Amino acid sequence: MDYKTDYLIIGGGAMAMAFIDTMLKETDATFLIVDRRPKVGGHWNDAYPFVRLHQPSSFYGVASRPLGRHRLDETGFNKGHFELATGVEVIHYYHALMEEVFIPSKRVQYLPLCDYTDNGAILSLMSGEEHKVTVNIKVVNATLMNTEIPMTHTPKFKVAEGVNCVPPNHLCRLAPKHKHITVLGGGKTGIDSITWLLANNYPADNITWVIPRDSWFYDRSKFQPDKDFLEYTLEFIAGQTENFATAATLEELCLGMESRGNWLRLDRNVWPTMFHAALITKIELEQIQRISHVVRLGRVESIDTKGMQLTKGEVSCQPDTLYIDCTAAGLCNNVNNFTPVFELGQINLQCIRVFQPCFSAALIAHIEVSIEDDALRHAMTRPTPMTDTVKDFLTSQAHLLMNEGQWRSHEEITKWLIDCRLDGFSHLIANISADDHKKINQLKRYGQHVKNAVDNLLRLAAVN
């Protein structure tokens, strides 16, 4: 069978869903989604059972439908902060959206378990048949984030027979059967595994944590989308922009983020080099600081029944140790990927606001519909790819400030941002009253420093 569509969407993850949702509202076009997974929602379909968003639910999903109920958590390690949807909630949200909105619209066709091949055909992974597709308007590549998660990746280290090394998907079932657990990886998944163990009373002393590189974390309290928290967020934005404008070196920039309380680190005696933009609370930080067996000997190369061989040394381990593989790249396959969003006949869904894939995809859809001038489209959609190191962060952040400047000098886009639920702060900022001097002053500080911030970030990116 051959297919016809206005927009062919390759990939059915979060970015594809946010893009289509906005296009359904703003156009009368048709869409064909091709995804090799059996359900929409991308990587969330294979997530570990205790995964949660690390940003408030209000920032996530599609523009037309809220995710969660905008409640503050009253207990747990996220206490006092807005709720973080669980993986199950996220998946249910996307599956319901598909069944209740996309398919009933009669404008969305969906081909699960199909691969979009290099020669532009659709290959059924079940029957092996290839289908042709005629695209009237554009191909939309919604796979550029290239998300790699523990359940579906292949570890880069060797595991000898008799060693129990599993993705965190099996942690809940296996943890009670093992007296010693070693968590491999210092990113968000590693933190999730440690905090899940501690929240469930697993003894901290029986956990070993392998951290090849330490990381800077954002303090989640600065990203709370509500008027009651707005002053903190504006202070974060103003202070960060001042810091970007004035830091003489990369090190000074990091210390400036830390001294303003924007960035946190596990150990003040260890200098982090990694930056994956994970958000944590101070309670979570205190919890992960309870782990005293931290191995900082580089990456794991192999594990056998006696212990681990790492790039900078060896560590012996108890024979019954359960190893939890949290070493998947996450979003790192997208690092330094500056593929333009708009190309001839094709849209490449990239973050155009750092670390905001859903918002970015929705805004790209709106720009596709409302901006015809090619130069302006490009100026509004400089890619802000994912970051692996602090150096990567410099260019992404500079591009973000440039994009924001373009959006805010366009009246219609500014209005769209205020109305879009995936933009956590524009509507709050638009409603600041003229006599709220503190917040007005914070906005002024941002405005005063933004140009120098862009110049300095690009200068630092060039010399580091």
Ligand X SMILES: Cc1cc2nc3c(=O)[nH]c(=O)nc-3n(C[C@H](O)[C@H](O)[C@H](O)COP(=O)(O)OP(=O)(O)OC[C@H]3O[C@@H](n4cnc5c(N)ncnc54)[C@H](O)[C@@H]3O)c2cc1C
Binding site for ligand X (CB under 6 A): 10-16, 34-37, 42-43, 51, 53-55, 59-60, 115-116, 142-143, 145, 147, 149, 188, 330-331, 356-358
Tell me which H or E stretch contains 5. Answer: strand 3-10
Nearer to ligand X among residue 188 and residue 449 (C-beta): 188
The 10 Å Cβ neighbour count of residue 426 is 17
CB of 355 to ligand X, least distance (A): 6
Nearer to ligand X among residue 68 and residue 256 (C-beta): 68
Parallel/antiparallel/unpaired status of strands 122-124 and 114-116: antiparallel
Instruction: Record the tokens describing residue 447, joined without a space.
Output: 């405005």
Nearer to ligand X among residue 239 and residue 385 (C-beta): 385
Nearer to ligand X among residue 91 and residue 303 (C-beta): 91
Nearer to ligand X among residue 87 and residue 272 (C-beta): 87
CB of 12 to ligand X, least distance (A): 6
Q: Which amino acid is at 325?
A: D
CB of 223 to ligand X, least distance (A): 10
Query: Rounded to an integer, what distance in angstroms lies between the CA atom of residue 45 and that of residue 47?
Result: 6
Residue 380 burial class via C-beta count within 10 angstroms: exposed 0-12, middle 13-18, buried 19 and up? buried
139 closest CA partner among 385, 373, 348, 358: 348
Q: How many CA atoms lie within 13 A of 416 on its CB side?
A: 23
Those residues whose C-beta lies under 8 Å from the C-beta of residue 22, and which sit 6 or more positions away, are: 62, 63, 64, 361, 362, 365, 366, 369
CB of 39 to ligand X, least distance (A): 9
Query: Rounded to an integer, what distance in angstroms lies between the CA atom of residue 23 and that of residue 108?
Result: 11
Nearer to ligand X among residue 60 and residue 202 (C-beta): 60
Nearer to ligand X among residue 102 and residue 116 (C-beta): 116
CB of 383 to ligand X, least distance (A): 13
Nearer to ligand X among residue 54 and residue 366 (C-beta): 54
Parallel/antiparallel/unpaired status of strands 313-316 and 307-310: antiparallel
SS3 184: strand
Beta bridge partners of 133: 3
Nearer to ligand X among residue 32 and residue 310 (C-beta): 32
Those residues whose C-beta lies under 8 Å from the C-beta of residue 387, and which sit 6 or more positions away, are: 275, 276, 277, 335, 354, 393, 396
Nearer to ligand X among residue 12 and residue 190 (C-beta): 12
CB of 162 to ligand X, least distance (A): 30
21 closest CA partner among 324, 366, 317, 337: 366
CB of 136 to ligand X, least distance (A): 20
CB of 116 to ligand X, least distance (A): 4
Which string of DSSP letters, residue by residue, matches 71-134? PBP-SSTTTTSB---BHHHHHHHHHHHIIIIITTTTSEEEE-SEEE-TTS-EEETTT--EE-EE
Tell me which H or E stretch contains 311. Answer: none
Query: Rounded to an integer, what distance in angstroms lies between the CA atom of residue 318 and that of residue 299?
Result: 19
CB of 349 to ligand X, least distance (A): 7
CB of 365 to ligand X, least distance (A): 13
Parallel/antiparallel/unpaired status of strands 322-325 and 181-184: parallel
